Amino acid sequence: MKRCPSCRTEYADDAQFCTKDGTRLMALADPAADARATEAPRRPVGEPLPTGSAMVGRVLDGRYRVEKKVGEGGMSFVYLATDVSTQHRYAIKVLSAALSQDTNAMARLKREASLGMRLEHPNVCHIIRLGETEDGLVYVVMPFVEGEILSDRNNRLGHIPLDETVRLVTDMATGLHLAHELKIVHRDLKPENIMVCRRADGADYAVVMDFGLAKERRAGAELQKLTATGIILGTPEFMSPEQLRGKPLDARTDIYSLALLTYEMLTSKLPFQGRTQQEMMIARLRSDPVPLRKMRPDLDLPEAVERVLHKAMARNPDDRYQTTLEFANALSEAAGGGTGGLMGRLFGR
């Protein structure tokens, strides 16, 4: 079960936002589930173990020693690994054995790697290399990014102060700008795909994660087939109107999603209301967002910030800011910070 931290209404586990006020829901503790999670999973006799069972302790490419599994998804396992020479830590994503013979899954993993290796930037979790073990397991190596997931921070704080929001959005904008310059669109920006990390000097910064749904703007026929699965790729709550309609996408869909994400950071709520996820999606196609200051009048947010977000969330992509940097600059100016910080970061000042 999940609960709204504002009104305390409880929802089923598959719900994401409160239908009364749009607040992101939080999972309720389930002691029975926690106890079950500590038990060894039961498998039918003769069923092979997943790919992950034999990876810990292996040294890949004569360099990366696999320490432990840290996560898994529908098509991969993720491990923490250590460089045996430098002791630097890396994340290793390994394609599951069950899907290793799946042509589409392999194509998608290789596509993710080919895109990710072009995205080296402090505010992007990029892919370092693509490899294959002697027994045919395909894997990708990435920096091990340690920090707090943005959705967790938002839930913990209730909302994120304006100055911190501007700094984190600027980080995301600069990382996304590189991707967009390379003709890559993320398509799945959401708080769960942003990691807030800490530098040695104690300053926080944001890293955009999971370009696994990223798509080159000039996609060929084979790439188009990978997404023609009948399943919407992306997270519905943060999709742009053109993405919901299945229209061709460019960088402006990420700008829309980044604006939604910014709105939620500032208010802990989403700007479109509805009793169900479907109603909230329809609202994005037909309605204007709830004005920022109407949603949270208690926070005394500047009217200029409200105008910036309204423009960035325009239903017509032509009416939005046309680059993430343009959006980040406008947000910084509206918040009273000017653009010096962003320009300095881009040009080394």
What are the sequence ranges of the domains in the chain?
2-28, 63-142, 148-347
Whether residue 284 has pLDDT greater than 80: yes
Predicted confidence at residue 111, as pLDDT, reads 75
> For all residues of the chain together, what is the average pLDDT?
80
pLDDT by residue (tens digit) across 324-347?
Answer: 999 999 999 999 965 444 544 443
Whether residue 50 has pLDDT greater than 70: no
Q: Give every CB contact of residue 300 below 8 A, 6+ residues apart in sequence.
A: none
Lowest mean pLDDT among 39-53, 211-225, 289-303, 320-334: 39-53
148-347 shares the fold of 63-142: no
103-104-109-112 Cα dihedral, nearest 10 degrees: 140
More confident residue, 250 or 237: 250
Specify the pairing of strand 138-143 against strand 89-95: antiparallel
Q: Tokens 């998804």 correspond to what residue?
A: 73
Whether residue 312 has pLDDT greater than 90: yes
Sign of the four-CA dihedral 98, 102, 105, 109: positive
More confident residue, 281 or 14: 281
Largest CA distance in the chain: 64
What angle, 0 to 180 degrees and rounded to 10, lies between the N-to-C axes of helices 162-181 and 324-334? 160
More confident residue, 107 or 97: 107
Task: Give the span between the Cα atoms of 118 and 112, in whole angstroms.
Answer: 10
Predicted confidence at residue 231, as pLDDT, reads 37
pLDDT interval class at 201 (50, 70, 90): very high
Which helix (H) or strand (E) covers residue 246, if one does?
none
Whether residue 32 has pLDDT greater than 80: no
Classify residue 290 by its DSSP letter: P
Predicted confidence at residue 237, as pLDDT, reads 83
Residue 311 φ then ψ, to 5°: -65, -45
Whether residue 316 has pLDDT greater than 50: yes
Residues 143-157, mean pLDDT to the nearest whole number: 93
Predicted confidence at residue 43, as pLDDT, reads 36
Residues 279-288, mean pLDDT to the nearest whole number: 87
Predicted confidence at residue 183, as pLDDT, reads 86
Whether residue 208 has pLDDT greater than 90: yes
What own/partner pairs with CB < 8 Å and gap ≥ 24 does 345-349 have?
345/170, 345/174, 346/174
Task: Give the span between the Cα atoms of 137 and 97, in whole angstroms.
Answer: 7
CATH of 63-142, one of 3.30.200.20, 3.40.1440.60, 3.30.930.10, 3.30.70.2740: 3.30.200.20
Query: Which residues are the active-site residues?
Result: 188
pLDDT interval class at 70 (50, 70, 90): confident
Residue 70 φ then ψ, to 5°: -120, -5
Total-model pTM: 0.75
Residues 124-137, mean pLDDT to the nearest whole number: 83
Whether residue 283 has pLDDT greater than 80: yes
Whether residue 310 has pLDDT greater than 60: yes
Note whether 241 and 315 are within 8 A (CB).
Answer: yes
Specify the pairing of strand 138-143 against strand 10-11: unpaired
Q: Tokens 């490899």 correspond to what residue?
A: 131
Residues 208-226, mean pLDDT to the nearest whole number: 53
DSSP secondary structure letters along 192-214: GGEEEEE-TTS-EEEEE--GGG-
Residue 105 φ then ψ, to 5°: -65, -45
Task: Give the span between the Cα atoms of 178 and 184, in whole angstroms.
Answer: 9
> Helix, strand, or coil here: 207?
strand
Q: Provide CATH code, domain 148-347.
A: 1.10.510.10
Predicted confidence at residue 260, as pLDDT, reads 96
Predicted confidence at residue 341, as pLDDT, reads 44
Lowest mean pLDDT among 141-155, 232-246, 322-336: 232-246
Residue 261 φ then ψ, to 5°: -60, -40
